Every structure is written in C-alpha cells, then in structure tokens.
Amino acid sequence: MARVLVVGDLRVQALERAGGHRSFTIVWPEGAVHEAADAFLRTHDGSGTQRTYAFLLVDHLRWLQREALTLERVGLRDLQRYMGLSGGRVAGPHGEPWRAGKRPYGGSALSTAAACFKGFYVHQASLGVNRELGDQLARTRLPAQADRRRQFLGHLRRELPGQPAGPAAGAAAASEDAARGRPGAATRGGGHGPGPAGSDLAG
C-alpha cells in the first residue's frame, strides 16, 4: 500500500560528523535530505544557531505543505500569516489555526524565527528561487512582536481543564513528535536531536 504523506512527516535529523561534531538538517519522510533547507542550514554549520533554526524551519516547511505552497510560490503575505499563527501581532486573517494546543512563540522566539525565515528565503533568492520574495525581505522586517492577547488566552486555555482539541490538533501533535525526536533514519545517518532549547520554542 502506498504511504500517504501527511503534515508533520518532515523532521529534523542530527548528523554525526568527524571528530564528534554534530550538525542538523531536515529530511523527508523516506529519509532523503530536504536540499533547500540543508543548503541554508549548512551556512550555520558548527554553531548553536543551526539547531535552533532547524526546528523553527521544519515547522514552517510543514505549514507550507499544509497550505500547498512551494518555495517558488510563497509570498510575503504568506510569511506574515505564518508569523501571526505562531504568536506574532499581525493584522488581518491568518487562515486555519496552526500549532493548536501549543503555546504561541514569545518575543524572543519570534525574533529568532523572523531572522531564520528571512535568511532562508534570501538564501533561496541568491540561488535564483523566488527572487521577488528575497528582494521584499531585503527591505522588510517580518513581524516579531508578540500578540499579548493570544499569549494571555493561551495561558487561560492551559489553566482550564477539558478543553476540546482544535482543528489542527493532529498537525500540532505530529510537530511535537518531531520536536521530541521520533524514530527514523536519514540517508546521511545520525539520530534525531531533541527539540530546541527554551520554553518559547518547545512549548
């Protein structure tokens, strides 16, 4: 039976390098490396930033899958919507909820995410992919200010028992599996690393 690709199948993979060095990349369900993500993450090889960026980027790439958006078609408004869904203060409709059941990113995590996504898409543009978006991001900042109303409501939801799961609960659970290190193998070896440090990213 053919396996159906579901949101959340993309995952972070830890790779053991020579000399005990560990790096992080993103792989597809069958273990093949996500080439675009890997090329960007390699620019941060050997730094703690690479691990943090990998976990932020894999969640964003899963959201692109759900929205049926390719790297060639994603636009600035799409990135703004994603930041709004992740906890940023963004005006206008954001679409179907994402990260349901998980705490919205705080200000520090939003700033890191904004830097990660800007770097990723500017890197893509330098390779000839979606140059329009790369040009826009070179002149525009992604929203990185936390929506305090959502932070407060998220706190209330955690305090109230028996709250029903949201429509994207399955996607959020799959995302959590990857952040916790679901079993799997990549074509370039290595085991899963744990989720990113800090409550803002792992919450």
What is the Cβ-side half-sphere exposure of residue 127, based on CA atoms within 13 angstroms? 13
Please tell me the number of Cα atoms within 13 Å of 85 on its side-chain side.
22
Degrees to nearest 5, angle at CA 186 with 26 and 74: 25
User: How confident is the model over 47-93, as pLDDT tens digits?
Assistant: 989 999 999 999 999 999 999 999 999 999 999 999 999 999 988 76
Helix (H) or strand (E) holding 170: helix 169-180
Whole-Å CA distances, 96 to 67, 158, 159, 196 = 9, 21, 24, 25
pLDDT at 167: 38
DSSP letter string over 118-157?
HHHHHHHHHTTSSHHHHHHHHH-PPP-SB-HHHHHHHHHH
57 vs 94 pLDDT, higher one: 57
Q: Could you report the per-residue pLDDT of 17-55, keeping only the tens digit for each?
A: 877 789 999 999 989 999 999 999 999 998 989 999 999
Q: Measuring CA to CA, how many Å separate 7 from each of 55, 60, 85, 123, 157?
A: 15, 11, 16, 24, 24
